Amino acid sequence: MKPLILVTNDDGITSKGISVLIEVVKTLGDVFVVAPDSPNSGMGHAITVDSTIHIKKSKIFKDIEAYECSGTPADCVKLAKHHFLRGRKIDLVVSGINHGMNASVSVLYSGTMSAAVEASIEGIPAIGFSLNDFRYDADFRHVKRYLKRIVEKSLKNGVPPHIALNVNFPAKSDKPIKGIKICRQTNGYWREEFDARTDLYGRPYFWMGGDFVNREPESEDTDIWAMENNYVAIVPVQYDRTAYPEIKSLKKWKL
């Protein structure tokens, strides 16, 4: 019996990245798709609690059952698990391939990774895939064999319980990918800038921009270093954000 693989993303069901992901994983199992009906980049782990969620069957992918959802990436996983695939064992959730990297602190903002983390909360093995190329027509050809290898190994060996794998691919270049590195999350942050503008009606609004600041550019065990040096970066992530070493120090406050 083939493994059941749930596919989702945050760029929307019509994105190039999810088509490439489906092209690869459909050779490894039975694929079921629930993905947002529009881009949800930067949505993080938001869920829909104060509005309705609309679902429509999609015919985008030949011979694959797929649904487009008005909700968030996390909503898509919840709906698949508790409605569409209720009573069935989901062997793996794969999310992506995201147009743009989700390394370092970006994992917190990423809808792609939040879908994978939502699956890990439910006890389902999960992987989020991202490409360090934000272009709509990004070239994904160089990642396919690595993507397939990672999914194959995950199905064979099993992703650790309640862990999601954050996989980031370097952008296509004239040099081949050197290999895969198991890494940790880079210590970095986004330095934002807000451009104040005025719309046609004279109302003020802001457009957010900025750049990424790497606090440890020389650290070779990080995901950013791996990508910058043409490796595929894999970081195991978890939803438990407890800073365990600080529990003891906080108890000394004698609150």
Amino acid symbol at 206: F
* 137 marked as binding residue: no
**237 close to 107: Cβ distance less than 8 angstroms:** yes
The number of helices, as runs of H, and strands, as runs of E, in the chain is 7, 11
* Contact between residue 25 and residue 97 where contact means Cβ atoms under 8 Å apart: no
10 marked as part of a ligand binding site: yes
41 annotated binding-site participant: yes
Contacts of 167 (CB under 8 A, 6+ apart): 96, 127, 128, 129, 130, 147, 150, 232, 233, 234
Start-to-end Cα distance in the chain: 56
Annotated binding site for a divalent metal cation: 10-11, 41, 98
* Known binding positions: 10-11, 41, 98
